[in-house]
Amino acid sequence: MAIKSLPRKQLFVDYKVQGALALRVVLYWAACLLTMTLMLVCWRILTGSARAFYLQLDDMWFHYKPALVASVLLLPLVVVDVLRLSNHFAGPMVRLRRAMRALAEGKSVEPIYFRENDFWREFADEFNALATRVQAQSTAVSATTTTPPLVTPEEPGRAWTREEGATVEAALDALKAVAAAQLALDAARKSDESAPKSANLSGSEAAAAAFE
């Protein structure tokens, strides 16, 4: 339960989501700066005296340079703050995804708990209930499908180990193969014995027909 009050040591926990948010902040800053610059240039052209465009830009740079420097200095702070905020919903999703992957692989999953400042904390309780139910059903199914152990005739009270059971099954398979081979050999012998008799019978019939 102490995990609820401990901050995360890693700021980037989901590079795809948090990286997209940080890039979006930088793009918004650049778009806002470009829009303000164009609006100021147009305003100075419409309201001021007619001068060359580069003179207008030089004059704006002289007057609005401190504002531009301040916005550049504030940009990293805004990006870090957005990353910290996104950590409160990207972190829980990463932990939830790992737990779901382990549960899908049939592994034992411990209950997960999110921190106090995390978003979607109710997901942890819902997942814990689901994981408990799935693991209970998996245990019940494995208990019903377990085969009873083999019992040796010499020692009725002792069950065979897995290696002993495998040896016995291999021996039974070998005996079945020998029995099948013996049956095939007997059938071949019977067919060989019946072939001369039929040949002799057909020869005597031919001789009788010639005599007649």
What total of structural domains would you count in the chain?
2
Please answer whether residues 22 and 79 qualify as being in contact, where contact means their C-beta atoms are separated by less than 8 angstroms. yes
Same domain, 11 and 97: yes
47 vs 192 pLDDT, higher one:
47
Based on C-alpha coordinates, what's the Rg of the chain? 43
Query: What DSSP designation does 11 have?
Result: S
Question: Can you tell me the distance from the alpha carbon of 31 to that of 43, in angstroms, rounded to the nearest whole number?
Answer: 18
pLDDT tens digits, 6-40:
556 778 888 889 999 999 999 999 999 999 888 88
What pLDDT score was predicted for residue 23? Answer: 94
Position 177 confidence tier, pLDDT thresholds 50, 70, 90:
confident
In what helix (H) or strand (E) does residue 133 lie, and over which residues does it extend? Answer: helix 122-144
**Residues in contact with 146: Cβ distance below 8 Å, sequence separation at least 6, in sequence order:** none
pLDDT digits (tens, 9 = 90+) for 73-109: 999 999 999 999 999 999 899 989 999 998 888 888 8
Q: Are residues 85 and 40 in the same domain?
A: yes
Domain range holding 175?
A: 148-212
Among 27, 25, 38, 14, CA closest to 86: 14
- Where among 124, 144, 164 does a domain terminate? 144
Same-domain pairing of 100 and 157? no
What is the distance, to the nearest Å, from the Cα of residue 98 to the centroid of all Cα atoms in its chain? 8
Residues 67 and 43 in one domain: yes
Name the average pLDDT for the chain. Answer: 77
Is pLDDT of 207 > 50? no
Give pLDDT, residue 1.
42
Per-residue pLDDT, 210: 46
pLDDT exceeds 70 at position 119: yes
Same domain, 30 and 97: yes
Tell me, what's the pLDDT at 137? 84
For residue 61, the model assigns a pLDDT of 82
Four-residue CA torsion sign, 178, 184, 190, 192 = negative
CA distance 86 to 20: 11
Same domain? 105 vs 173: no
Taking only the tens place, the pLDDT of each residue in 123-176 is: 889 999 988 888 888 787 777 765 555 445 455 555 556 666 677 677 777 767
